């Protein structure tokens, strides 16, 4: 069978690499892909949101299954468009993907389903939000733009001044919704209580009835070591995390995943695909920070590095509403660590086009895979083409061993201005001793 993957980043490279391993797959296409997907699959110069051309390509190339990586096409309704043409596609419908597309929708659903989450208020203009913040005694809050903002719409605030600045940045002078840093995503905002604890990511594959929970992972959102600096799309991840015990995972299934899947089904928005819960593990138990409607990036890379089962079989079972009939996925018992290498200036402004050296040397290290994210090919060379450039991922007999292998590979790779965090997965030792 032929498979089409939609997207351009490290997650899509990991999906292409794993899907290509299926004995049932003949060809894998990635639209538009990057320099890495061109090595493990075939790139197609099509935009992830150009639905008519993607549908035409799928028909002309006898695509048996399309897999959607990023959130934007899901929220825009790519699944509905493909299904209307009787094409099989893995991912939630537009109605179900609103769980990620609107933080207000998500919070309201969580409240209705009695799922633990932070208290919150919704505002549609800056004046109301500013009045609310000035009247609060406790100003430990998080300010969030409602819609998709490519990681630019969430502000964890340490005081009233930071919170007021976040409101102004989202709404922008003269406080007109949709004009700020988050663009149209900031037509309304959430202000919610700031939770204390440790963050983790729990992903599940569901067909709207059966739920297969995957091993818990931990992303590193902050740009710099020690979880300092601005938030990013993710500077690295590892899997599994000792922060989430088997008892925690069972509790998360019962109190978070099952209620959300059932609530969406009752709303006639059945969710099929990858359901991603961003959680804060607090003293009162797990609380939901956000939901995503697809694989996380960079969580996808260490997860798929450990997956031993056929990913295509899992995805087809979701599309065909028969997830209950297949065996649970099998995992490599070894943990995996993924380190993101970024361009100078990220998550702010950065330049593109710097030649990347040392990829072949890194690839020779056992149990290491370099997944490309922001890369392209120019004059026969691989060059930088984004903020997060590579996700260097390794397996090891322990988390420290996997970390050592990943960073050994990182040291082989060079380009002007390359940098990364040096402490990806270090907190795992602290959790193991808790």
**Any idea which of 59-63, 133-137, 302-306 has the lowest mean pLDDT?**
133-137
Question: What's the pLDDT tens digit per position in 364-411?
Answer: 999 999 999 999 999 999 999 999 999 999 999 999 999 999 999 999
Return the pLDDT at 429: 87
Q: Which two tokens stand for residue 342?
A: 């970024």
The rounded mean pLDDT for the chain is 94
Q: Work out the pLDDT band at 174, boundaries 50, 70, 90.
A: very low
Please check the confidence at residue 152 and state whether its pLDDT lies above 90. Answer: no
Share of the chain above pLDDT 90, in %: 88
Q: Residues 83, 304: contact at Cβ < 8 Å?
A: no
Please check the confidence at residue 166 and state whether its pLDDT lies above 80. Answer: yes
Question: What's the pLDDT tens digit per position in 243-287?
Answer: 999 999 999 999 999 999 999 999 999 999 999 999 999 999 999
Question: Any alpha helices (H) in 338-398, and if so which ranges?
Answer: 359-363
The helix (H) or strand (E) run that includes residue 390 is: strand 388-395
* Structural domains of the chain sorted by starting position, each given as residue range(s) with its CATH number in brackets: 2-91 (3.40.50.20), 125-187 (3.30.1490.20), 198-432 (3.30.470.20)
Mean pLDDT of 91-120: 97
User: Whole-model pTM?
Assistant: 0.94
Name residue, tokens 């890194």. 362
Between the CA atoms of 248, 113, 263 and 286, what dihedral angle is there, to the nearest 10 degrees?
-20
Q: Which of 311, 305, 303 is nearest to 22 (CA)?
A: 311
Mean pLDDT of 194-210: 96
Return the pLDDT at 176: 46
Return the pLDDT at 171: 84
Q: Residues 211, 264: contact at Cβ < 8 Å?
A: no
Return the pLDDT at 11: 98
Taking residue 94's Cβ as centre, other Cβ atoms within 10 Å add up to 17
Return the pLDDT at 135: 86
Share of the chain above pLDDT 70, in %: 96
Name residue, tokens 């695909």. 273
């Amino acid at each position: 069978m032929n498979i089409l993957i939609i997207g351009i980043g490290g997650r899509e490279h990991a999906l292409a690499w794993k899907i290509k391993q299926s004995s049932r797959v003949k060809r894998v296409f990635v639209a538009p892909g990057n320099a890495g997907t061109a090595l493990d699959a075939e790139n197609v110069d099509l935009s992830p949101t150009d639905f008519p051309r993607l549908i035409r390509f799928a028909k002309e190339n006898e695509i048996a299954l399309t897999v959607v990586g990023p959130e934007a096409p899901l929220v825009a309704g790519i699944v509905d468009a493909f299904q209307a043409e009787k094409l099989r596609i893995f991912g939630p419908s537009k109605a179900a993907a609103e769980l990620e597309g609107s933080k207000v929708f998500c919070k309201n659903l969580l409240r209705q389903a009695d799922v633990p989450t932070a208290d919150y208020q919704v505002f549609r203009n800056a004046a109301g939000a500013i009045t609310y913040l000035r009247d609060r005694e406790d100003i430990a809050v998080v300010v969030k733009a409602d819609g998709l903002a490519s990681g630019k719409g969430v502000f964890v605030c340490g005081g009233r001044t930071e919170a007021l600045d976040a409101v102004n940045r989202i709404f922008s002078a003269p406080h007109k919704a949709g004009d700020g840093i988050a663009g149209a995503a900031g037509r309304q905002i959430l202000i919610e209580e700031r939770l204390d604890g440790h963050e983790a990511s729990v992903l599940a594959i569901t067909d709207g009835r059966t739920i297969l929970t995957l091993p818990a992972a931990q992303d590193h959102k902050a740009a710099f070591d020690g979880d300092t600096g601005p938030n990013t799309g993710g500077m690295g991840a590892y899997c599994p995390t000792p922060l989430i015990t088997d008892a925690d995972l069972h509790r998360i299934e019962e109190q978070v995943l099952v209620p959300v899947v059932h609530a969406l089904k009752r709303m006639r928005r059945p969710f099929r695909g990858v359901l991603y819960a961003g959680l804060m593990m607090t003293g009162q138990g797990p609380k939901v920070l956000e939901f995503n409607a697809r694989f996380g990036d960079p969580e996808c890379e260490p997860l798929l590095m450990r997956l031993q089962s056929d990913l295509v079989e899992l995805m087809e079972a979701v599309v065909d509403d028969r997830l209950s009939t297949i065996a649970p996925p099998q995992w490599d018992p070894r943990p995996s660590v993924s380190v993101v290498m970024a361009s100078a200036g990220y998550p702010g402004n950065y330049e593109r086009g710097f030649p990347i050296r040392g990829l072949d040397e890194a690839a020779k290290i056992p149990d290491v895979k370099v997944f490309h994210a922001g890369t392209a090919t120019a004059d026969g060379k691989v060059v930088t083409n984004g903020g997060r450039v590579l996700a260097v991922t390794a397996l090891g007999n322990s988390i420290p061993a996997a970390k050592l292998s990943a960073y050994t590979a990182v040291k082989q790779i060079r380009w002007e201005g390359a940098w990364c965090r040096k402490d990806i997965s270090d907190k795992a030792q602290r959790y193991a001793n808790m």
